[in-house]
């Protein structure tokens, strides 16, 4: 599978990374090489192998429904680029929706 | 735009719902912050629900248990193995840049919930495709009036446990959709899964709707069925809005079909927002890339397994769902399906109140009538819950008992009920205070003689066979003494005339 | 008593006995940092006042007869990937340049509770992505053995500060070799424990299913001492193992007779520097002389370790690093300034860089400005590999090969107790040598990534020097939870050799 400049632009948009035209040229070349490297895996026969997402075989890790102390609002906001003492402030969100 | 009625419409409306309910836990899904509604902004947050670097999630046992209870109540199959996935997208109310949700292995699937209209208008068994557990996002607040001002982000809600319930497209009218949602809400409230408070956002609904339009075939033969493109409707803030939005959208699609003949598959799925004051749906901006959520298993969480024994235990601990309870009330108290429906739909506490009353009265039908005509009506006017209702079942039973004994009639009983409600005094005090007990039979006979002497025409009419003429005397009797029992007045008068 | 010359084990004993005070000990290392770190750049932040105050409190408590923690008075340097509530935590990234966490990482909490003295935060590759430390947004770390060479990465600052005697112990993190490879290149001992042994809470995630925290010190015995404090179950980390913490230091004393060490012929194929090969073979010989037996084993899928790793790690990273968007913390681009891809401003217009809204602009430009080139490459790669249509061919495929790699280890550990070999194919390479060739840099982890993929432990320790005087690292890998054996084997080797005691010439 080759990776086109358009593909890379689309991925940059998905990843919310602003790339200049020059960045995009460089990134396309680099990603093509890396994709070449990782594509070696295609030669491994994995037809009877289940994916292993995690090295642990653990399951059923829970906590009790018991309240723990929260941060103060000041602590929550202490590294915020912009805030009004109560809320985080971001550029106006109008007519855009998140996910379902 | 006119809304064709369901029977007259030349199409079938096909509706599927996607419902999010917040689970009634004390703490969030992955951290120990409170889920209480209405706190000052960003006071119920910690590194985990703020998505701070280095923070990690640990799943709330009770949230999972409540989710399983909801799924069992919806007759779903509980998966023996389930896991959590990350749904990646950028939005300021989603601080990690991904939502922890479930993708290909939800903890439950393949259920059903039936809704039956008590008046017999419809009965619909709605399939449940899946129920899964995920975390809620925070809140974005924007002051439109302020124009370009910043959007404010409050993350108190971020991480609250949510069940997402997705139905099959089995509903066939906006009315059915509303009734089904009522049934779902009732069920989840009964089982203590969620308070389902739409005002506080603990129940949210999106709807998918399109039309199936039978086309005429060659020479009047039956043709194929055309399907209009599916539209997802968002921003509906009440069940009434859901009904209105679906009705609007069905009519809109019908008009569009007539104009364009556009069918399912020719255009991408459209999302429309419901504008409640305007009563219309409006197209929302579609971002193609936003649908590429790049789901993958969350490596910060481990899978959950559930044994058959655990499922059985959860089922046993669940309690009766409303459908079972309705049938039980019908059988035990010999009340109609309609009456059982009304009572059960008011919630578990009201059913308990009713059963206490019916036990004291020793009869279901009378108790049910009083519940519906007096208790419920008053409750609706006053607001609040049955737990806060100032009159006890014992007091109502006392009033009913006196009516049954003939101390006074039902309408007088209602006045006494209202007085008990207003004053908070015991029934006996109220009855005594109104002088009801003071009218003796001798007094009544004296009163009736007086009335007959003053109304020779009534006496003549009754003698001529028109017994109903005696009714005219009752009003006069009440004027002279408001405590008289009308039935007794009538009977005494008839007896006196016969003896003349 | 010269604190700089003592092992961590001896330092803790000396403080406990009153031979040296915690303040004297802390001052000695702070002085050394002042003298040499201008040339090494191992630290991003030195907390002189905080460390001295902490040391003074420990001394006061000791004087008053109060209880002392197991690491009382021990200076510890912490990689800047671990959250500290009293110091900025940057991950060596512009993105987090001004980020002050409101909480301590669990490891930091445990170190403080054990009365360790945290002297500062060490330099690293940005977000732990790199093998040379040249990806730090703030300063390049220089290898104390040769200042023109790289210390390795990503825990290069932690390795260099121990090698240059600026701290007796440092904490690192290892996602694909980031403790072991810099330990090898800097001539120190570094342990990457079994996944789940040390809590990841407060460790800024790179790839959550691979990341693990571990100790870096001069010797295996010192690593064992630190492990007793930092290892152990944490209910706040779902992936933390529930096992009791072994008495790592006591277990060092058990004899090593009958130890079976595996040797993988493929490790000695092309690409391995001959001098490194010689050092590694000599280490095998030394183990044999000490009573171990050496057995040839195979790890047939290990050659796919790098491609597997460079899918799984970027996929997880692309999601883990989505939170750095300028909204709640971290760098936010100024509206309308700086890098901006607009027509007529020196860049060609691109469809992907026209912004739909002020919010989209904030996201895209904050991330473009805040992240360095390697971080962007990995975010891009991971985003691509997870996107619709590619998931099965890349991410899911890598997960299947990951299972094969783990199975290879399970099979091999049926035959041997541990597997030995080189940590790195070469000794320290020159700064700049690989920094313009991402692929060449990716290969530096070829011997280490498989342990992360399988979730098992590995330790690197010095086993000789090249003619140019650069340290050579030997790696031992063990089955899950074999850290006591890894530490014991390395400690036994270090009782018989003195490679780990050699110090670089870095005059004050």
What's the pLDDT tens digit per position in B325-359? 999 999 999 999 899 999 998 888 899 999 999 99
Q: Considering only alpha carbons, which residue of chain C is nearest residue A88? A: C328
pLDDT at position B3 over 80: no
| C232 alpha carbon, distance to own chain's centre | 18
Query: Is A24 within 8 Å of chain C by CB?
Result: yes
User: Is the separation of the CB atoms in C366 and C121 below 8 Å?
Assistant: no
Average pLDDT over residues B95-117: 97
pLDDT value, residue B474: 82
Question: Minimum mean pLDDT among B293-307, B379-393, C51-65: which range?
Answer: B379-393
Are A37 and C442 within 8 A, CB to CB?
A: yes
Neighbours of B255 (CB within 10 A): 11
Report the predicted TM-score, pTM, of the whole model to 2 decimal places.
0.89
Interface probe for B, chosen from C88, C96, C109, C320 (most Cβ of B below 10 Å), is C320
CA–CA gap between residue B428 and residue B93 (Å, rounded): 59
Q: Where in chain B are the domains?
A: 12-313, 320-437, 440-499
pLDDT in tens, B475-486: 888 788 777 777
> Which residue is catalytic, options C7, C79, C173, C435?
C79
- Is the preceding omega at residue C154 within 30 degrees of 0, hence cis? yes
Q: Where in chain C are the domains?
A: 3-255
Helix (H) or strand (E) holding B214: strand B203-216
Is C154 an active-site residue?
yes
The phi, psi pair for A28, rounded to 5°, reads -60, -45
Are C207 and B299 within 8 A, CB to CB?
A: yes
Q: B483: helix, coil or strand? A: coil
Among residues C129, C122, C314, C322, the alpha carbon closest in space to that of C209 is found at C314
- Dihedral over Cα of C339, C342, C344, C349: its sign: positive
| B149 → closest Cβ in A71, A73, A92 | A92
pLDDT value, residue B8: 63
What ipTM did this prediction achieve? 0.96
Classify strands B203-216 and B161-167 as parallel, antiparallel or unpaired: unpaired
> Which residue is catalytic, options C154, C158, C173, C435?
C154
* Cβ-proximal residues to C314 (8 Å cutoff; 6+ apart), any chain: C207, C378, C379, C381, C382, C385
- Dihedral over Cα of C443, C445, C450, C454: its sign: negative
Average pLDDT, chain B: 90
As beta bridge partners, residue C122 has: C43, C79
CA–CA gap between residue B356 and residue B395 (Å, rounded): 11
Neighbours of C396 (CB within 10 A): 17
CA angle at B170 for the pair B169 and B171, rounded to the nearest 5°:
105
CA–CA gap between residue C219 and residue C360 (Å, rounded): 50
DSSP B224: E
| A14 → closest Cβ in B32, B289, B301 | B289
Query: Topology of C3-255 in CATH?
Result: Amidase signature (AS) enzymes (3.90.1300)
Is C240 an active-site residue?
no
Concatenate the DSSP letters of all residues of C181-212 into one string: HHHHHHT-EEEEPPTTSB--TTBPPSSTTT-E
Q: Which two tokens stand for residue B397?
A: 């039973």
Q: Which residues of chain A have pLDDT under 50?
A: 96, 99-100
Q: Where in chain A are the domains?
A: 5-42
User: Is the separation of the CB atoms in C171 and C216 below 8 Å?
Assistant: yes
Q: What is the CATH number of domain A5-42?
A: 1.10.20
> Which residue is catalytic, options C7, C93, C132, C178?
C178
User: Is the separation of the CB atoms in C357 and C400 below 8 Å?
Assistant: no
Determine the distance in angstroms separating the CA of B129 from the nearest CA of chain C, rounded to an integer: 23
Q: B80: helix, coil or strand? A: coil
Among residues C445, C480, C481, C478, the alpha carbon closest in space to that of C459 is found at C478
pLDDT in tens, C404-429: 999 999 999 999 999 999 999 999 99
Query: What are the Cα distances from residue B139, in Å, to A54, A71, A93, B38, B161?
Result: 33, 18, 11, 12, 15
Among residues C271, C181, C275, the alpha carbon closest in space to that of C466 is found at C275
Are A21 and C350 within 8 A, CB to CB?
A: yes
Among residues C410, C220, C179, the alpha carbon closest in space to that of C300 is found at C410
Determine the distance in angstroms separating the CA of A99 from the nearest CA of chain C, rounded to an integer: 15
User: Is the separation of the CB atoms in C165 and C2 below 8 Å?
Assistant: no
Q: Which residues of chain C have pLDDT under 50?
A: 337-352
SS3 sequence of C72-89:
CCCEEEEECCECCCCCCC
pLDDT value, residue B438: 57
Query: Topology of B440-499 in CATH?
Result: Arc Repressor Mutant, subunit A (1.10.10)
Are C353 and A12 within 8 A, CB to CB?
A: yes
Residue B2 confidence class, pLDDT cut points 50, 70, 90: very low
Among residues B100, B16, B9, the alpha carbon closest in space to that of B51 is found at B100
| B62 alpha carbon, distance to own chain's centre | 25
Are C318 and B51 within 8 A, CB to CB?
A: no
pLDDT value, residue B147: 61
Q: What percent of chain B has pLDDT over 90?
A: 65
CA–CA gap between residue A49 and residue A51 (Å, rounded): 7
Helices (DSSP H) in chain A: which residue ranges? 5-14, 21-38, 73-77
Query: What are the Cα distances from residue C109, in Å, to B416, C82, C83, C106, C141?
Result: 69, 11, 10, 5, 27
CA–CA gap between residue B260 and residue B263 (Å, rounded): 9
Query: Is C329 within 8 Å of chain A by CB?
Result: yes
As beta bridge partners, residue C117 has: C75
Chains linked to B by 3 or more Cβ pairs within 8 Å? A, C
* Residue whose structure tokens are 């992936």: C239
Among residues C155, C201, C173, C126, the alpha carbon closest in space to that of C367 is found at C126
User: Is the separation of the CB atoms in C408 and C300 below 8 Å?
Assistant: yes
Give the relative orientation of helices C22-40 and C156-163 as an angle to the nearest 10 degrees: 120
Q: With beta carbons under 8 A apart, name residues in chain C contacting B302.
A: 238-239
Concatenate the DSSP letters of all residues of B108-174 into one string: EEEEEEEEE-TTSS-EEEEEEEEEEEEEPP-EEE--GGGTTPPEEEE-SSTT-EEEEEEE-S-B-SH
């Amino acid at each position: 599978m080759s990776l086109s400049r358009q593909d890379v632009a689309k991925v940059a948009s998905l990843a919310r990374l602003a790339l200049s035209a020059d960045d995009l040229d460089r990134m396309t070349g680099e990603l093509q090489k890396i994709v070449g490297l990782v594509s070696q895996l295609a030669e491994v026969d994995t037809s009877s192998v289940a994916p292993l997402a995690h090295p642990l075989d653990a399951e059923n890790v829970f906590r009790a429904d018991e309240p723990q102390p929260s941060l103060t609002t000041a602590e929550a906001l202490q590294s915020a680029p912009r805030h009004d003492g109560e809320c985080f402030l971001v550029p106006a969100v109008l007519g855009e929706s998140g996910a379902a | 735009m006119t809304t064709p009625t369901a029977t007259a419409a030349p199409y079938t409306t096909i509706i599927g719902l996607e419902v999010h309910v917040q689970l009634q836990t004390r703490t969030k899904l992955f951290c120990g912050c409170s889920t209480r509604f209405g706190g000052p902004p960003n006071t119920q947050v910690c590194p985990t629900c703020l998505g701070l670097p280095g923070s990690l999630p640990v799943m709330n046992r009770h949230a999972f248990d409540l989710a399983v209870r909801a799924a069992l109540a919806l007759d779903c199959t509980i998966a023996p193995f389930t896991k959590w996935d990350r749904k990646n997208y950028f939005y300021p109310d989603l601080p990690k840049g991904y939502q922890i949700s479930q993708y290909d292995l939800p903890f439950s699937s393949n259920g059903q919930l039936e809704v039956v209209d008590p008046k017999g208008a419809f009965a619909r068994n709605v399939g449940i495709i899946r129920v899964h557990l995920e975390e809620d996002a925070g809140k974005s607040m924007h002051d439109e009036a302020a124009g370009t001002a910043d959007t404010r982000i409050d993350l108190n809600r971020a991480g609250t446990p949510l069940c997402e319930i997705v139905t099959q497209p089995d509903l066939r009218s906006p009315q059915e959709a509303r009734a089904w949602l009522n049934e779902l809400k009732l069920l989840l409230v009964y089982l203590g899964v969620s308070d389902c408070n739409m005002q506080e956002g603990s129940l949210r609904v999106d709807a998918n709707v399109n039309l199936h339009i039978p086309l005429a075939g060659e020479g009047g033969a039956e043709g194929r069925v055309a399907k209009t493109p599916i539209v997802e409707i968002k921003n509906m803030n009440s069940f009434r809005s859901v009904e209105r939005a679906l009705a609007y959208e069905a009519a809109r699609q019908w008009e569009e079909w007539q104009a364009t003949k556009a069918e399912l598959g020719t255009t991408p799925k459209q999302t429309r927002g419901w504008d409640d004051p305007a009563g219309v749906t409006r197209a929302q901006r579609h971002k193609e890339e936003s649908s590429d959520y790049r789901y993958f298993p969350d490596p910060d969480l481990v899978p959950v397994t559930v044994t058959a024994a655990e499922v059985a235990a959860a089922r046993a601990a669940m309690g009766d769902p409303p459908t079972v309870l309705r049938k039980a009330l019908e059988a035990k108290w010999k009340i109609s399906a309609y009456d059982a429906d009304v009572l059960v739909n008011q919630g578990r506490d009201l059913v308990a109140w009713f059963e206490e009353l019916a036990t004291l009265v020793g009869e279901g039908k009378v108790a049910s009538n009083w519940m519906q005509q007096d208790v419920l009506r008053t409750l609706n006017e006053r607001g609040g819950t049955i737990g806060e209702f100032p009159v006890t079942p014992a007091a109502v039973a006392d009033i009913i008992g006196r009516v049954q004994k003939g101390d006074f009639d039902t309408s007088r009983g209602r006045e006494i009920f209202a007085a008990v409600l207003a004053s908070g005094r015991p029934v006996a005090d109220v009855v005594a205070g109104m002088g009801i007990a003071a009218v003796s039979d001798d007094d009544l006979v004296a009163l009736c003689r007086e009335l007959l002497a003053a109304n020779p025409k009534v006496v003549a009419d009754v003698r001529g066979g028109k017994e109903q003429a005696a009714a005219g005397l009752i009003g006069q009797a009440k004027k002279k003494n408001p405590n008289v029992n009308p039935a007794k007045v009538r009977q005494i008068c008839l007896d006196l005339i016969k003896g003349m | 008593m010269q604190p700089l010359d003592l092992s961590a084990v001896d330092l803790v004993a000396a403080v406990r006995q009153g031979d040296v005070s915690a303040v004297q000990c802390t001052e000695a290392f702070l002085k050394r940092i002042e003298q040499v770190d201008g040339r090494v750049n191992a630290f991003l932040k030195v907390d002189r006042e905080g460390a001295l105050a902490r040391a003074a409190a420990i001394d006061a408590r000791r004087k008053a007869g109060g209880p002392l923690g197991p690491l009382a008075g021990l200076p510890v340097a912490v990689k800047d990937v671990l959250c500290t509530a009293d110091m900025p935590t940057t991950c060596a990234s512009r993105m987090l340049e001004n980020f002050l966490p409101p909480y301590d990482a669990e490891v930091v909490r445990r170190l403080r509770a054990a009365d360790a003295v945290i002297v500062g935060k060490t330099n690293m590759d940005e977000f732990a992505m790199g093998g040379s430390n040249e990806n730090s947004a703030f300063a390049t770390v220089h290898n104390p053995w040769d200042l023109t060479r790289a210390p390795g990465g990503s825990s290069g600052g932690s390795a260099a500060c121990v090698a240059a005697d600026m701290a007796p112990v440092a904490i690192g993190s290892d996602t694909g070799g980031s403790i072991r490879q810099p330990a090898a290149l800097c001539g120190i001992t570094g342990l990457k424990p079994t996944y789940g042994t040390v809590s990841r809470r407060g460790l800024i995630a790179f790839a959550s299913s691979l990341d693990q925290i571990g100790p870096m010190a001069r010797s295996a015995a010192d690593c064992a001492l630190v492990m007793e404090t930092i290892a152990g179950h944490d209910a706040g980390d779902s992936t933390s193992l529930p096992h009791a913490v072994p008495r790592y230091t006591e277990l060092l004393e058990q004899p090593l007779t009958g130890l079976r060490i595996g040797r993988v012929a493929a490790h000695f194929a092309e690409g391995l520097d001959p001098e490194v090969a010689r050092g590694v073979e000599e280490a095998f010989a030394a183990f044999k002389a000490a009573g171990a037996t050496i057995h040839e084993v195979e790890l047939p899928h290990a050659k796919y370790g790098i491609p597997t790793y460079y899918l799984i790690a970027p996929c997880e990273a692309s999601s883990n690093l989505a939170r750095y968007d300028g909204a709640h913390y971290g760098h936010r681009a100024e509206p309308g300034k700086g890098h901006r891809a607009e027509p007529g401003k020196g860049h060609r217009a691109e469809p992907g860089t026209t912004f739909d809204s002020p919010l989209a602009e904030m996201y895209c430009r904050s991330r473009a400005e805040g992240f360095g080139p390697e971080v962007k490459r990995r975010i891009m790669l991971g985003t691509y590999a997870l996107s619709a249509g590619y998931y099965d061919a890349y991410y899911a495929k890598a997960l299947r090969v990951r299972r094969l790699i783990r199975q290879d280890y399970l099979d091999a550990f049926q035959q041997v107790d541990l597997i030995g070999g080189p940590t790195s194919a070469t000794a320290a390479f020159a700064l700049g040598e690989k920094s313009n060739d991402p692929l060449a840099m990716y290969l530096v982890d070829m011997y280490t990534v498989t342990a992360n993929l399988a979730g098992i432990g590995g330790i690197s320790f010095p086993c000789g020097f090249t003619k140019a005087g650069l340290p050579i690292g030997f790696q031992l890998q063990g089955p899950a939870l074999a850290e006591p054996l890894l530490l014991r084997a390395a400690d036994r080797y270090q009782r018989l050799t003195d490679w780990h005691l050699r110090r670089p010439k870095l005059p004050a």
